[in-house]
Amino acid sequence: MKVKHGKAIEQQCAQCGDTDKKNRKSQSEFLCLKCGHTDNADNNATKVIKQRTFEYLRSKAFLNGKTKRKKETGNVNQ
């Protein structure tokens, strides 16, 4: 299963959800300007991806089977 997580993962705070380009202080440092949350930037991004994945899995689209899937090619009965 592939989940599109959208943009600005590296700029979104895993604690409060605020997204700002300035939250990413450096390649490795994350500091949320809204709530003050600090973390390693990669750890914060991992938490955001995890949160977005859980949100997707709880969504009505997923639960109702309305996810976009690639059509399989070929006939299985051949």
pLDDT tens per residue, range 21-75: 999 989 999 999 999 999 999 999 999 999 998 888 888 777 777 666 555 455 4
Q: What are phi and psi of 76, to 5 degrees?
A: -70, -30
Residue with tokens 């639960």: 63
Residue 34 and residue 12: Cα distance in Å, rounded? 11
Three-state secondary structure call for residue 41: helix
pLDDT of residue 78: 43
Residue 6 pLDDT grade (very low, low, confident, very high; cuts 50, 70, 90): low
Q: Which residues contact 49 (CB under 8 A, 6 or more apart)?
A: 5, 9
pLDDT of residue 55: 87
Q: Which residues contact 25 (CB under 8 A, 6 or more apart)?
A: 31, 41
